[in-house]
Structure 1
Amino acid sequence: MEYLRKFLKSIYRMIKKRFILLVFIFLMEILNASIVNNVEKRDIIAFENITNQLNSTLSNSLWVYQYKLIKDTMINSVKNFDIEKIVLYDKDLQNYYIVEKIDDKIIFKETNNYVAAKTKLYLIEQKLYYNKKNIGILYVYKNKTNDLTQEEKEYLKDNSFTYAGDPNWLPFEAFNNDGEYTGIVSEHIEILEKNLKIKFKKIITKDWTETLNLSKKVEVDIVSGDAADVVLAKNYKAIDTYMQNPLVMVAKDDHNFISDLNYLKDKKITFVDGYGFSADIYKKYPDIKFQTCKSSQDGLLGVISGKYDIFIGTLAMVDYTIIQMGIEGIKITGDTGITMNLTLFVNKNKPLLYSILNKTMKSIPDIEKHKILYKWRHDKANKTIVDYTLLWQILFVVSILGTFLLYRQKLLQNKNLELGVLVDEKTKDLNNLNKNLEEKVEEKTKELKKQKDRYKFAIDGSSDGLWDWNIVTNEVYFSSRWKEIIGYKDDELENIFDTWQNNVHPDDLEGILKLIESNITGEKNTFTIEHRLKHKNGDWIWVLDRAKTIYDDNGKAIRISGFHTDISQQKQQTEQLIKSEKMASMGEMIGNIAHQWRQPLSVISTGATGMKMQKEYGVLTDEMFNETCTSINDNAQYLSKTIDDFRDFIKGDRTQKIFNLKDSINGFLHMVEGSIKNHDIHILLELQDDIEIDGFKNELTQCLINIFNNAKDVLEAKIEKTNNRFIFIETTVENNNAIIKIKDNAGGISEDIIGKVFEPYFTTKHQAQGTGLGLHMTYNLIVDGMNGNIEANNVSYKYDDEDYTGAEFIITLPMN
């Protein structure tokens, strides 16, 4: 029934609108049958002030009555309007009735021998009707103002002119699919061309923006537009306004009349931007935040759909668009007080053309201009409005529907009695059902409370601290355990985002925020990170932060939840083990250095003793002395370099600087030279000379030592000393990254453990031989400390025509 009610209501509205339109057409037909057809009242005929002057009685003949009315009207028209002469030709009597202005006096006369043509008068011819019978012809004369000077005539003869307008601005102007120029402006241009006996070259643009671009480059002579257009005014001069059209406000049918737009500041008000009147709108209503639309069609349809509350446009365009599109449900609700002034903009560098067009446009009589406007505002409407047949069809349908509704109403009355009884029974059933539902809801509420209490107890009792962030509402929750981890009671910290952010270590904050951002954008949906939080006592504690992101159906992040685990004690233990690992490496290197120093110390000692003995026996020559001193100095420099390398490593400075990768690797090999010789390992190098890295040299040396020690231990365990033991080191550059590849020939790492080699405390050695932290420390130094990457793989390769298999570590470091 509701659907039927809405349908009938819409039928009623449609009939009401059609009826009003039909009445309008009927009245227009009556008006068209009056004395002057299609002549604007304000230009020629002024009936309002003449009626009281008619003293004729019913005994007067119809023509006498009409004659006096025409005579008085002709006199008043010459008095009140810019008219020089009116001539009425009576077809029956073949007589002329003349009213003309001579020396500011108005003279009325009759004659049967009058020549109407006058070269300096502009003639408008209009037939007169009475009772739909053609009784005569009215001639109206106005001053001709388009007389051109000889210079102007020659200028027209010697030049051609281009013209551009808006290609889609009906009813004012447009170019149709066949390239034909049409509209109100078009018909004025056609009159200009006819009177000047020239043809403008029309430039068809794709839109108004392209036309404005032409004007900015001054690539066209004449452009049509609104006199208020500041863009055109830069390079063009506007002739006098030849037609005005008010800007009106359009709203839905149920909207009240709008007297002042300022009362509707909170409404969505729109207009088509880019036209000259845009500046007038902004200037008159500076406090209103307007919205703009692409076209009048978009604006009017937007009002219907509710996208906009008010549309502002010219009266002519609004009328035309509503009629052409058959839009219903909207109406004109007020006047803005702003007027669009149609004009032609003429190139400022062509003053003669400006003078010609201004004079010629002025010479077009107002009545002719109104004919054009009337044609596009009313004649178009007559073609669009539905005919009388449709009205009768609608009335017939409504009558059928009315009969059906009466019959339906009778059936409904009978059904209502039956439904009354049924409703009472159903009401009792619903009351019982509602009671049962209330009991179940109460039972479920209690169960949910129990589950919530159990969950809260589990969270509060665990060693982990829960945090939860609602991204949509920005609400944050921290469990009491979360706050306890950093030394606070539950009521001592607010549940806000700043509570977490203000307590994160400054060095860790940027990395965590990047992880959160990657989760919000959908790049990742989980993250795990170790970072520091400030304890209430001022110390920094370490936490393991694990989180997961929740998304809505559109893939938008709406929530992130996670847990904090206090790992400060584990961190301390790990750091202690790493120190132990480093000390073990240092102990082994001290042994290596002691081995390395034996030979150079022996050389120094032997040289010094030899020179002393030769001196005692008088056989020390200058040549022998210089050679021995050089040998002693070389070996002393070797010992000094060994001390420098070892000192830099022990110092452990984390200083970022630019260093040569080849020199760094050679320095590391110098430090482990003793171990290389002791274990009969062959080092095969393929190093590029010019790789410079802006990074941490000391940390890279530690990593290379760790990888070398692992390779050395595996080679010692798997390959006899008498056989070949190889370690290959290669460096390259790829995509502004330095690549270091270190591989051995010890047979590789077992596939079931190769994925665990970088985990903490993982080792295949006996506890007395390793802590399992060497490669884990290497991974952290490369990935976290130097923003690089390290991976371990098994590779097979050929060297000296022999096939080998071993483990290969690939280190990737950014050069900057």
Structure 2
Amino acid sequence: MNKTKAILLTIFFVILGNIITFYFIDKSASSQINISKKMVLNESRAHFKDTIHIKDWNTQFDGVYVQSNTLKPNKYLVNNHIFTQNNKLLIKINHAWMTKQISEISNKQGDYYYKLTSLRPINPDNAPDKFEKVALKKFEKDKINEYYSFSKNLKRFTYVGALKVDANCMACHYQQNYKIGDYIGGVRITIPTSDYKNFYESLQNKVSITKIIIVLLSIFVLLVLIWFINNIYTRQDLIQEMAKKQEELYQRYKLAVDGSNSGLWDWDLVKNKVYFSKEWKEMLGYKADELLNDIKTWENLINPEDKENAVCDIQNNHNKVTKYYENTHRLRHKDGHWVWILDRGKTFFNKEDEPVRMLGFHTDITQQKELEMSLSNSQQTLLKAEKIANLAHWSLNISTMEITVSENTRRLFGLKEDATFGMKELFNTFVYEEDREEVSEKLTNSVKEKSSYAIEYRFKKYNENDIRYIHCNVEHEIISGKIVNTIGTIQDITKEVYLKQELQDKEELMIAQSRHAAMGEMISMIAHQWRQPIAVVAMGANNILADIELDSVNNDSLKENLDDIISQTEYLSQTIDDFKNFFKPNKEKDLVTVKSVFNETFKVMGKMLENNNITILQEYKSQNEIYTYSKELLQVFINIIKNAKEALIEKRQKDRIIKINEFMDNNQIIIQISDNAGGIDEDILNKIFDPYFTTKDELGTGLGLYMSKVIIEKHLNGQIQASNKDDGACFEIRFSAKDI
């Protein structure tokens, strides 16, 4: 059960206890009130019985004689009268009237009130009030013998007892048609109940105070219980957390011991008894019961060459020369080979500062030792490999700014073994002056951002003037988020740079050759472009000459012919500029759209395509700009469309179509140039981008598509491929989004 449930359950039981306690308090109070009510009722009943006894006594003697000089005759006085011996007049009084007179005397002398009443009284003075009517009607209807109630202020208790008709009653009430046993009326008794009221109010106050005290005590007890529960669960949580941490520590210890391939040993120096753990023995290839737990076991297994040094280190720890014991030695494995052991421990002392116990771990470090020896043996091999590959390395301690360089680094820079080499020399002596700022900025930003980087820069060997090229890769060793060491590898790439430049020059030459090879085609295109404008110019000139010869020169006609000549001349001039732009390479990249490059393409080729009845269908969806060498991309488009034109002329007589489609796909710009010329033979599809491959016999150079591939993939960082699609060939060019 969790803490919340325990607290809620405690609150429930406290509330339940209060409810039960309140129930018994109310029940006890109700019982006391009922007893008090019963006492009041019994007292009323007693008064009722006394009144009935007086009535019965009076009735028994059919009235009584009384002496009175004040009584006046009335219908309630019996006419019978006698004189006493003393000659005093005695008058006989009706028993009912006498009972009424006794009650009235009592009413005048005390707090009690008595009254004889009836629904059909003979004496009007006996007529019932509201309360008495209710009682009398209940007697007749419900056949009950008594009816009573407290007043609202509890100061009076009114009791009405039933009177039934008997034989004596018939003497007076014979005219009212009563029968023996009928309810004839009742006797009302009203007694004072101030004591009952005080008792009732006092009891109610006690009940209320008791309940308040119980509630307050319950709240106090509840708070104490909640504190107690909270304290218990806090302690329980603490115990569980401690147990969990203890378990975690144990698991970590177990994992650390298991993962570190370590074995425990415990040496009682007083009794000279030693304990070797199961892992300690398994480390040497033995089972737990195959080696004795004795110091002689270790002495017999240790390599004799290592024993003296190990014993010396143990004694130094016993003598407090060292705080901890640590020694590396070899122990013989069960199969005979030597196991390298890292032995660590600590000596414990008694109050007299005498060594009494030593505890420690054996760790198998055979692999590390073999690796160290292998690493030592491979150092020379590494240096030789660096020398062959023109590689070298250096490291920089960030805290001391001390730089360490390999032998090959010194050789690379032309330094002697004892020559000073620091960061100052690196920048001021060995980095080419024009590259120093870039190299310094690159290193500074790398340290700031804690990131690796690669850079190429120029350098000169010590006391040499030839400029050489170097490629440097730099990595940082980071501990706790802080760079503690910077390591770099450097490689002399002078030959590669020159070869790359030579290859680039060759490619540029081949691109130029490709342009020149297409010059004949371009001249043909120019001829197509110029044919109609030249005809218009010639016609306009002839018209002017004819008008001059006929002496019919008209200014409006002359102006119209001259306007046509000027317009066509401007068109010819623009055509020259368009073709001139094609042959002029751009040295720097510019920001263009695919559509704008195709517009330049069709300025050069549009008339030729139109003259060969070739329809161009274009769709540009992305409108993204490309940062590229637009003139080289223009050359690629011209090469592909020119090939498509030739294929269409050769294979189709009509409905010749070239489609241009440009769109985005997965952050790449896709350009598709397709035709409906029947496609490329599958046998040669994978050869069309090879250099000097052509299907045009002596008319082709085989450089167009090859140079297109070189331009797209090497110069423009894109991809190009060809395939057969629908009813023709399709060339697809892709540019990565990072080049957009």
**TM-score category by the smaller chain?**
0.3 to 0.5
- TM normalised by structure 2 equals 0.40
Larger Rg: 2
